[in-house]
Amino acid sequence: MKIAVVGGGNRCRNLLDLIEKHSFSEISPKIVAVADKKDDAPGLVKARENGLFVTNDYNDLFDRDDIDLIMELTGDQDVFNEILKKKKKTVRAVAHWIINFLYEISVALNSQVLAKQRLKEQRARCDVIMNVAINEKVMVISPDYRIIDANENLLKKAGLRRDQAIGRYCYEVSHNLDAPCSGERSPCPLPQAIKTKKPSQTTHIHTDKDNNELFFSVSCYPVFEDGKVIGVVGISRDITKDVNIQKLMVQQDRLASIGRLAAGVAHEINNPMTTILTSVMLMQEDTDPNDPNYQELKTIVDETLRCSKIVTSLLDFARQMKPAKKMSNPTDIIAECIVLTKKQAEFNDVVIVENLSEDLPLTNIDGDKIQQALINLTLNAIEATGPGGKVTLSAKFVPNNETFEITICDSGTGISDKDIDKIFDPFFTTKENGTGLGLAITLGIIEQHGGTIDVKSKLGQGTSFTIRLPLDQGNKDVHSL
């Protein structure tokens, strides 16, 4: 199709370019002539350069035989009307507005094709991100916490199909909550990521059905469109193993330092203690058993022996030596602990209350060590309780999970939130003459028995420590043969 253009402006030049470069499938258009009043009109200049017929008077076009179509690009309706009047019958004509209209349609179609293509590419990229990170739970979330997309891993854990998850709130699907995650143990990183337009990370601490702590690293990465944050990619990763390894390393570090200290101190303490012990034993030999001092001397001997044992235990603990277990009666051990701490309680004007179940079964434990742990806790409780206060020791057997629960509860000062995470650290003390080893040793002993120790405290109201020891039947079965 041979075309003559009336109006040699920019649009004419663009048309010349387009026809030159584009390969048409059904028609093969060719511009053969351009008319414009101005000699320097860009379309006319280009046509001249290309060796086409050019003229300043469009009337020159009507006599030519090599034209099938005249395009009017001047934008002047009168010019188009004149073309219609003067052109040969076999020649067709189109007005500028039809060409504008066709041009706009082609631009719109083009941008639709491009947008579809872009969407396809984005979707493919997203699919890779969403489904490659198989160990992580991944969601794309809008700023109002609605799920835009989620990966297979998350959907599997939530027991949902993708279409069931999309549109629901992220906290509903991932945490079964009816409001966004919050609080110290599960802070939400989304608002921070939206506000700062930067990635934000928090750690969630949850507990499983056995009361074990599980740690999750939760990160939000902002997603931008035209410079605006339109949502975030939220990634949740289970980091419990990493945290536990880290804790173990810190614990081992502490143990190593206690070990070094204990080894040095034990030698120095044992010598004077042996001197005290022999002197007191000699004095006891020279004292009549009916003498009131005889009993006091016996207490000094017993307590010095206990000190000596504590030094040994400290060394055991530092070296993580195995406890010497034998079948023991927990009721006896607790009763003995009360006897040994009663004097200290009386001195502080604190009442010790026993609340022991009678049917505690025998268990395979190192009675001396457990007693030492209970004495540490009871002394702490007495020391934290003012005159007129109360310390309660209770013990019960929980048949469901086969554990002993021993609780030492006091009406004392309580522990501040700032301190509570540190009380089991070796050498942490708030007392003028404390070593800060009591709870570290206690924790070591309980852990060596496969048990746990929990603390609950309210400042000004009191503290309660709960030890949970698994029932260990030892070689009971061998006895019953």
Ligand X SMILES: Nc1ncnc2c1ncn2[C@@H]1O[C@H](COP(=O)(O)OP(=O)(O)OP(=O)(O)O)[C@@H](O)[C@H]1O
Instruction: Return residues touching ligand X (CB under 6 A).
Output: 376, 380-381, 384, 410, 412-413, 415, 423, 428-431, 434-440, 463
Task: State in angstroms the smallest separation of the CB of 310 from ligand X.
Answer: 10
Task: State in angstroms the smallest separation of the CB of 419 from Mg ion.
Answer: 13
DSSP codes joined into one string, 292-303: HHHHHHHHHHHH
Site size for Mg ion (CB under 5 A): 2
The mark string for 98-137 relative to Mg ion (x by CB under 5 A, - otherwise) is ----------------------------------------
Residue 413's binding partner among Mg ion, ligand X, none (Cβ under 5 to 8 angstroms by kind) is ligand X
Residue 357's binding partner among ligand X, Mg ion, none (Cβ under 5 to 8 angstroms by kind) is none
Which residue number has the CB closest to Mg ion? 438
| 313 or 363: CB nearest ligand X | 313
Residue 200's binding partner among Mg ion, ligand X, none (Cβ under 5 to 8 angstroms by kind) is none
Cite the beta strand spans of 133-265 per DSSP E. 137-141, 147-150, 200-207, 213-225, 228-238
Residue 384's binding partner among ligand X, Mg ion, none (Cβ under 5 to 8 angstroms by kind) is ligand X
Task: State in angstroms the smallest separation of the CB of 434 from Mg ion.
Answer: 6
Tokens of 224: 């931008």
| Binding flag, residue 438, Mg ion (CB under 5 A) | yes
Task: State in angstroms the smallest separation of the CB of 181 from ligand X.
Answer: 31
| 284 or 392: CB nearest ligand X | 392
| 62 or 428: CB nearest Mg ion | 428
Find residue 408's DSSP bridge partners: 393, 465
Tokens of 456: 């609950």
Find residue 356's DSSP bridge partners: 395
Task: State in angstroms the smallest separation of the CB of 372 from ligand X.
Answer: 11
Bridge pairing between strands 390-398 and 403-410: antiparallel
Identify the CA nearest to 311 among candidates 366, 262, 261, 372: 262
Start-to-end CA distance of the chain, whole Å, equals 109
**CB atoms closer than 10 angstroms to residue 400:** 5
Task: State in angstroms the smallest separation of the CB of 442 from Mg ion.
Answer: 8
Q: Residue 439 in contact with residue 429, Cβ under 8 Å?
A: no
The mark string for 347-386 relative to Mg ion (x by CB under 5 A, - otherwise) is ---------------------------------x------
Task: Please give the radius of gyration of the chain, using alpha carbons only, rounded to the nearest integer.
Answer: 44
Q: Residue 47 in contact with residue 20, Cβ under 8 Å?
A: no
- Three-state SS letters, 41-77: CHHHHHHHHCCCEEECCHHHHCCCCCCCEEEECCCCH
Q: Residue 164 in contact with residue 149, Cβ under 8 Å?
A: no
| 130 or 373: CB nearest ligand X | 373
Task: State in angstroms the smallest separation of the CB of 399 from Mg ion.
Answer: 32
Q: Residue 404 in contact with residue 370, Cβ under 8 Å?
A: no
| 229 or 311: CB nearest Mg ion | 311
At residue 349, what is the residue type?
D
Q: Which residues bind Mg ion (CB under 5 A)?
A: 380, 438
